[in-house]
Amino acid sequence: MTSEQLAWKIRRHGVEMTHLSGGSHIGAVMSVADIIGVLYADILKFDVNNPKSDNRDRFILSKGHAGAAIYAALAECGFFDTEELKTHYRNGSRLSGHVSHHVPGVDFSTGSLGHGLSAAAGMALAAKQDGKSHKSYVVLGDGECNEGSVWEAALFAVHFGLDNLVCIVDHNKMQSLDFCDKTLSTTPLKGIWESFGWNVVDINGNDHEQLRNALSGIKANNKPTVIIANTVKGKGIPYMENDILWHYRFPHDGWEYDQAVSELHKTKPEGVTDPYTPDGIQNPEMPDEKEIHLDNTMSATYKPTWFRKEQQQ
């Protein structure tokens, strides 16, 4: 499967999984789908028949609230059946809302933000000490970079010269309730990582070619590398893009689900079959005119007060 096909599948599963479960974080899943698509299609070394193989690359999705994205990728790669994705977020399912290491192919449980870089750095140090050649990859959210523990791990990785550690920051400029710069600014993110002594690569994180080039060109210069992947939260479903509503809201029955699926069908790559709605949705519902807000994102309900005020000015 190509990275484009895998990323599309991640998005389509993500819509279905959050829709079926009433689970959150669809915007975060859409944002990171291209990063995970390229990693699993083109970069990571793994063996689906031996998920714990010693020479596999390690991978941690530290922004564990986007668990649907990694579960979808693992299922599509063959770690478990894609049917199981429908149990996401349900009582008794091992596909918990946030990432669980009980799932084959998962190296570390996440969900409490701020821990993935420390764990990935530890794995990278262990590999070096054991003379192993595999790498350790971790994806952080940009809001997650507000956690102090991220910067302790950043110092640690430089101190130990962990050039087998690759951190990718999903830099969508938003966190759960607002823009990052309005919450606790880490701008300029690139400059901060540089000042900590990391190799820094700044790219469009929704562009597969740029992701592939950055991820396959990691320098072995005794320093860890961070890829600042500039992304769009909600990417791929225009009415969700850059709209904070879709951090927590899931696509409900009616126009929200119909339009999400219809929008994805406009960009479906050759050779991909939609496992849920193979022909798309016939006569998709449209939102009521009065639900279309000033910003044209069609968000039916919640908008933070500051946002409404700015729009009215």
Ligand X SMILES: Cc1ncc(C[n+]2csc(CCOP(=O)(O)OP(=O)(O)O)c2C)c(N)n1
34 binds ligand X (CB under 6 A): no
Query: What are the percentages of helix, strand and coil residues in the chain, rounded to 5?
Result: 45, 10, 45
144 binds ligand X (CB under 6 A): yes
107 binds Mg ion (CB under 5 A): no
114 binds ligand X (CB under 6 A): yes
CB 1 within 8 A of CB 67: no
65 binds ligand X (CB under 6 A): yes
243 binds ligand X (CB under 6 A): no
Which of 14, 23, 122, 143 is the binder for Mg ion (CB under 5 A)?
Answer: 143
172 binds ligand X (CB under 6 A): yes
CB 9 within 8 A of CB 272: yes
141 binds ligand X (CB under 6 A): yes
Which of the stretches 48-56, 138-146, 212-220, 261-269 binds Mg ion when contact is defined by CB under 5 A? 138-146
Maximum Cα–Cα distance across the chain: 63
Strand arrangement, sheet containing 165-171: 58-61, 136-141, 165-171, 225-230, 199-204
Find the binding residues for ligand X in span 180-209 (CB under 6 A).
none
CA dihedral 138, 29, 141, 41 (to 10 degrees): 30
Residue from 239, 202, 208 nearest 6 by CA: 208
Q: Name the residue nearer to ligand X (CB basis): 121 or 127.
A: 121
Find the binding residues for Mg ion in span 154-173 (CB under 5 A).
172
Both structure tokens of 17 = 């999984």
Give the residue ranges of DSSP H helices in 160-284.
Answer: 180-183, 189-195, 208-216, 245-248, 255-266
Q: Name the residue nearer to Mg ion (CB basis): 181 or 288.
A: 181
Q: Name the residue nearer to Mg ion (CB basis): 76 or 142.
A: 142
142 binds Mg ion (CB under 5 A): yes
Q: What is the smallest separation between the CB atom of 40 and ligand X, expressed in angstroms?
A: 18
Contacts to ligand X by CB under 6 A? 28, 31, 63, 65, 111-114, 141-144, 170, 172, 174-176, 233, 247
